[in-house]
Amino acid sequence: MKVRVRRNLAKRLLNHGPTVLVASFYRGRPNVATIAWTMPLDSDPPRVALVIGEGNYSFECITKTGEFTINVPPVSLKEAVIGAGSVSGRRVDKFMKFGLTPIKARKVKPPLIEECIGHLECRMIEPELAERYNLFLADVVAVSVTKGTFKERWLVEKEEARTIHHLGGNVFTCPGGLV
At 114-173, the pLDDT tens digits run 999 999 999 999 999 999 999 999 999 999 999 999 988 888 889 999 999 988 888 888
Q: Which is nearest to 51 in space by CA: 95, 80, 20, 78?
A: 20
Q: Is the pTM for the entire model greater than 0.95?
A: no
- Name all domains of the chain by residue range, CATH numbers in brackets: 16-171 (2.30.110.10)
